[in-house]
Amino acid sequence: MRLDELRPLSLFDGLTDDQLAELVEPGTEVRIEPGVDLFREGEHADFWWVLVDGAIDLVRHVGREEAVVARMDMPAAGPAGSGPGTTRASTSRPVEG
């Protein structure tokens, strides 16, 4: 990703170009196709993410059922976790369409 692609996202309002560059430099752009989960409930939360296009559903397992607990539209971001040993509370699944 380039800075000029992320600068218009309100998520980054208030950051200087240098601060935004620090976030972007170690990052990797990943395109997620429908049917491919970005992350899964219970996995170790060792990265943060930014949704720059489209939408994702956050899905939780309740017994043997899956329930969509939220839908996130761009721009959105998610944390790496709140500390050592943190796991994902839900599965992230791209929304088709």
Tell me if the pTM is above 0.75.
no
pLDDT score of 44 more than 70: yes
Residue range 32-97 in CATH 2.60.120.10? yes
Q: Looking at beta carbons, which pairs linking 33-40 to residues 24 or more positions away fall under 8 Å?
A: 33/94, 34/94, 34/95, 34/96, 35/94, 36/94, 37/91, 37/92, 37/93, 38/92, 38/93, 38/94, 39/88, 39/91, 39/92, 40/88, 40/91
Per-domain residue ranges for the chain? 1-30, 32-97
Q: pLDDT, tens digit, for every residue of 73-82? A: 877 776 655 5
